[in-house]
Amino acid sequence: MEKRENFSRKRVAILNTLKETDTHPTADWVYAKLKPRYPNLSLGTVYRNLKKFCETGKVVSVGVINGQEHFDARVEPHAHFVCSQCKAVIDVHEPFFTKEELETLSQRLHLSVQDASVVFHGLCEKCRQDPGM
């Protein structure tokens, strides 16, 4: 029973770590954050849980950026901006496709659109101000 409880605590800690940040972290970042508190935590455990959270809709994948997949615990539809210089991932808080708009698009295209994601690319405010970074 203790092993199961420890597993559940790790799972909750992984999800809470994602919910407590808006940096859209990688599995490596989550692992580094939690390893001091959970010395027997493995990177594989983090990856498996992130995959499970994505499958159950608790977390979304922002996509692979600079060779690593990034995750977001904010699951309601919204767009992201990726800085092409510093690789920061930033939430875009603008109106997004509504469920009704996706249904209309599905009907028009004779498809079943279940989800949509938008990623903008460019320079963040910090990199625009200091292009020599």
Neighbour tally for 72: CB within 10 Å:
20
d(C-alpha 88, C-alpha 107), whole Å? 36
Query: pLDDT tens digit string along 24-77?
Result: 999 999 999 999 999 999 999 999 999 999 999 999 999 998 899 999 999 888
pLDDT-based confidence at residue 6 (cuts at 50, 70, 90): low
Q: What is the pTM assigned to this prediction?
A: 0.80
CB 24 within 8 A of CB 89: yes
Q: Following CA atoms 13, 60, 118, 128 in sequence, which dihedral angle do they give, to the nearest 10 degrees? A: 20
Distance CA 82, CA 122 (A): 7
Q: What is the model's pLDDT at position 83?
A: 94
Domains present along the chain, CATH in parentheses = 1-74 (1.10.10.10), 76-133 (3.30.1490.190)
Neighbours of 78 (CB within 10 A): 16
The model's pLDDT over 90-131, given as tens digits with 9 standing for 90+, comes to 999 887 777 788 889 899 999 988 777 889 999 999 999 986
Provide the token pair at 69.
């997949």
